[in-house]
Chain A
Amino acid sequence: MAEVRAEMVANVWKIVVAEGDTVEEGDTLVILESMKMEIPVLAEDSGVVAQLKVAEGDVIQEGHLIAVIE
C-alpha cells in the first residue's frame, strides 16, 4: 500500500484516475495547480487506486492525502 501526499499547498485542477483503476508506476493520478503551474502527481508504485481523497477544485495543504495505491 502506498500513500500519495501533496508536496505543497495547491488547488486540485484535474482528477485523471478513478477509484478501482489499475495504474503503472509513473502514471499521472491527479494534476494540481499552484502559483500558475500545473503539477502532475504521479503513482510511485504500480497497483490499484484503492482510495481517492480529493476532488477537482479542492484546496489542499502540504502533506494532504491524495490517494492510496494498493
Chain B
Amino acid sequence: MPKLDASKLSALKTLLKKNKLDGLIISDVKDLKYILGKNIFFFQNEGILLAYDKGLYLAARSLYKIPLSSEYPEIKIEGFDYCRENKIIETAKKLKLKNVAFDFNKEMYYSGKAYIKAGFKEFASLIASLRVSKTETELEIMRRSAKIVYGALPYIKKLLKIGVTEKEIAAKLDDYMMSKGASGTSFTTLVSFGPNGANPHHMPGDFKLKNNMPIMLDFGCVYQNYCSDITRTFWYGNKPSAEFKKIFDIVKTAHDKAAKEAKYGMTGAQIDAIARSQIEAAGYGKYFTHRTGHGIGIEAHEEADISRLNKNKIGLNYCFSIEPGIYLEGKFGVRYEDCFYMTKNGTKILN
C-alpha cells in the first residue's frame, strides 16, 4: 500500500508558506504521480489536486473515487464527471482559501482562464522546483534504475550477431530490463544499425546487422517510477573505419569533458557550451543537432535542460543526462550518454 511521502508533503507545505500561498492546484499527471507516490491517472485531466495549508483535496473522475478513497484515507476525494475546474474553485471557496495559485506552465489556456476568473494567481513551476532536486531516497532509486541499464550492456553485446534485426535487439533489451525489476521503458528503445544512426530518432526496424558497421543503442527503464537513460555507440566487426573512430573520439571527449568540468552553480547553457565548443573546435558543430542533455527523474525528460536556452543554474542533486552526438547523413551517427547528479564538488554519475 503506497503512503504519501512525509518529506514531500512537508516540502510542499514549506513551498506554500515561502510563496505566501494557502492553496496550490496540481493537475499535471507527472506532478500528481510525484506527490501521490505512484501512477494513478491514465490520462491528463482525470484528477486535480488542491494542496492547502491543512491538507489535500482531490477531484478525480468518478471511476477513481472508490479505489482511491481506500488507498489514500488522508486525502478528501470527490468524484467529478464534468467541469473539473469548477470542483476546485468551489472547494477553495468552501475552505475560505485566499491565496490560491495554479502553475501557468502546466495548465491549458481554458483552465487557466477559469482560475484567473476565480481570483487565483499565476505561479510558475512550483512542483517542478521540488521535483528537480532529488531527495536521497529518489537518488537511490535512480541509481538502481541506472544499474539495470548498465547491466543490459554486456548482456546485449553477447546477442549481437550478423543477421539480427534492430527490432529483435530492442525487444531483448526491453525483456532484460523487465526481468531485472523495471516496470517499463523510459521511452521507446532505440536501436540503429549502420546509416540509420544518422537519424537521432530512428525507430528500430527490420534492418539486419552486417559485419563492420556501427551500432547505436539508446534506452532506459522505469524502476519504481524513476527513469534511467543511456546511449552507447560502438563498432560491430573487426576494425572500426578511420572516420568512425575519429568521430567517436570527438564525441566521447566532449562527453567526458562536460561531465568533468560541469560545476555546481553553472547554468545549463554553460555546461552545454563545454561539450558543444569541443565538437565545434573539431569542425563538426553543425552536425551536433540537439541539446547536450536533459533533466531526468519521474519523467525521462524533465527540467534541468543542458541546452543553450537554459540560463538557470544547475543546483544540488539535480539529475541530468550528458549526451553529445554527431550525425552524418547517409553514413552514421555517434552519441554517448550517461546520467549524472550535481554535488557541491561537481557531477557524480548515476550508477
Does A pair with B?
no
Residues of chain A at the chain B interface (Cβ within 8 Å)? none
